[in-house]
Amino acid sequence: MTNPTLALENISKQFPGVKALDGVHFDINAGEVHALLGENGAGKSTLIKIVSGVYKSDTGSIRIDGQAVTFNNPREAQGKGIATIYQELSLYPELTVAENIFIGHAPHRSFGPLKVVDWGTVYERARELLASLNIHDLDVRRKVGSLNVGNRQRVEIAKALSINARVLIMDEPTAALTETDVERLFEIVRLLKGQGVGIIYISHRLQEVFELADRATVLRDGQYVGTKAVKDTSEDELISMMVGRTIDNLFPKLPAKPGEPVLEIRNLTRPPLTRNVSLTVRAGEIVGLSGLVGSGRSELAQVIFGMTPAQSGEIYIGGQRVHINHPAQAVKLGIAYVPEDRGTQGLVKQMNIRENASLAVLRALSRASFIKRGEERTLAKNAIQQLSIRAYGTEQIVNKLSGGNQQKVVISKWLASKPKLLIMDEPTRGIDVGAKSEIHRLMSELAVNQGLAILMISSELPEVLGMSDRVLVMREGQLVAEFDRTQATQESVGAAMMRVQAVNGSS
């Protein structure tokens, strides 16, 4: 038996007030895709930061090819062939593709005591690296800031290979990619695997794990739970390992009791991605809005909420025609909007839970421009209790919470405004399966028990089918199909997403 390319043994790491890792084991072989799984807060990020030299472990050892190593910084880890591609890409938008690939280690030419960058070699080797990934359509002289997310990620991978990476860590690599870019990424992963690169693959999307990975290791609460060969396990088993319990129902949908229309829009238009859209959302029901990326789902939500006001058409709230030209008007009318990007649009991540939970109702909590801190604190405490937010208290900084708990803070902020209509754009994006189940249960209870009307936008078809009372499908800015819960299937909704068809109010 040969030694693993990388082996971690008994890794522990303590931060003030929390033990992030406790005796964790992990290893990876050349030419293997090894998935690292766990809920948010399980310790995955801490572990890969130890592997990549960002943190030093308190106990344990790291071995490469059987030899013990110590990393004091990321450069030392890179020197041993370990490269990391984080979810937030670390590229310089004003530099070219080639400059980003070789930043910090560009080929040089010497002129006596002077060394200058050998630009000819830089561009040539950049093209060779991209070609090794079967990427032939990317201009190495083009500025990275002008590229889409998929191409920026390919540049990151080429950058990793430029240091002769033997182990490539990929942290949620498909989170922001289109379906086409995901397929291209999978092709690159398989290509790298064939070239002998070991890939540590972190993802909340278990279908990707079963498509790409050879083994999967699960962490829970900072501890090692187990390692499974992917061919010998199942989604249910991995979920049970991750959350410590069986999730019998990932979509805990309560029977709907639809009431009167809360939202009605008629021929709503805001070119190019909202064109003559008409729909109704009733009290007590969840309406799922589906469609491919670029179909106009999020754009429609932003028109309804007043972020990009409609050019024509009609909006009715509770049967009364209204004009919404600004989000403040939407909030006054009882509309709340949980955005797709909670990090930049839903939260102020440097502030604490108390401050975030009160953002939508500050005027009601203020007197003569002074915030009533006692009432604000009570509001936050109630939110933590009602939504089961896992935090040490109202003063915890939101940035220190897991993704699922951050999403609950966003929802609590809007529930404080006592809305009639809640628009949720990608409500479970980037959160683990346990937190997804909790968010789904909360949505169902809000609709059925409190009569809230919910318009849910999601790219995950199982989520749309599992949580919706009715499913609407958009394509190219238009509503092209409608299905009730009993008749919506992956095949019927998928077919409507892929081709234009007339709205069918009965199917």
Q: What is the pLDDT along the chain (507 residues), one digit of tens a residue?
A: 578 999 999 999 988 767 889 999 999 999 999 999 987 778 898 999 999 999 999 999 999 999 999 999 999 998 999 998 887 677 898 999 999 999 888 888 888 888 888 899 999 999 998 988 888 888 999 999 898 888 888 898 888 888 888 999 998 888 767 777 888 889 999 999 999 999 999 988 888 999 999 999 999 888 999 999 999 999 888 888 887 766 557 788 889 889 999 999 999 999 988 999 999 999 999 999 998 777 899 999 999 999 999 999 999 999 999 999 999 999 999 999 998 878 778 888 888 999 888 888 888 888 877 888 888 888 889 888 888 888 888 888 988 887 788 888 999 998 888 999 999 998 887 777 777 888 898 999 999 999 999 999 998 888 899 999 999 999 889 999 999 998 898 888 888 887 644 344 333
**Residue 505's pLDDT is what?**
39
Say if residues 301 and 455 touch (Cβ distance below 8 Å): yes
Find residue 475's DSSP bridge partners: 478
Q: Are strands 167-171 and 33-37 parallel, antiparallel or unpaired?
A: unpaired
- Rounded distance between C-alpha atoms, residue 195 and residue 156, angstroms: 18
Phi and psi dihedrals of 11, rounded to 5? Answer: -80, 125
Find where tokens 């789904």 sit.
440
Residue 81 CA from chain centroid, whole number: 28
User: Are the folds of 6-243 and 247-334+419-507 the same?
Assistant: yes
Tell me how crowded residue 309 is: count the other CB atoms within 10 A of its CB.
Answer: 16
**Residue 500's pLDDT is what?**
40
**Residue 177's pLDDT is what?**
74
**Residue 1's pLDDT is what?**
57
Chosen CATH of 6-243 out of 3.30.70.20, 3.40.50.2300, 3.40.50.300, 3.40.30.10 = 3.40.50.300
Q: Coil, helix or strand for 163? A: coil
Q: Coil, helix or strand for 185? A: helix
* Lookup: tokens for 7: 């082996």
Find where tokens 């936050």 sit.
380
Please count the helices (runs of H) and the strands (runs of E) in the chain.
16, 24
Domain 247-334+419-507 architecture: 3-Layer(aba) Sandwich (3.40)
**Residue 389's pLDDT is what?**
85
Q: Which of 207, 218, 173, 168 is nearest to 44 (CA)?
A: 218
Q: Coil, helix or strand for 358? A: coil
Tell me how crowded residue 88 is: count the other CB atoms within 10 A of its CB.
Answer: 10
**Residue 27's pLDDT is what?**
96
Domain positions in the chain: 6-243, 247-334+419-507, 346-417
What torsion, rounded to 10 degrees, do the Cα atoms 75, 78, 80, 84 define? 140
Say if residues 78 and 167 touch (Cβ distance below 8 Å): no
Say if residues 407 and 439 touch (Cβ distance below 8 Å): yes
**Residue 73's pLDDT is what?**
92
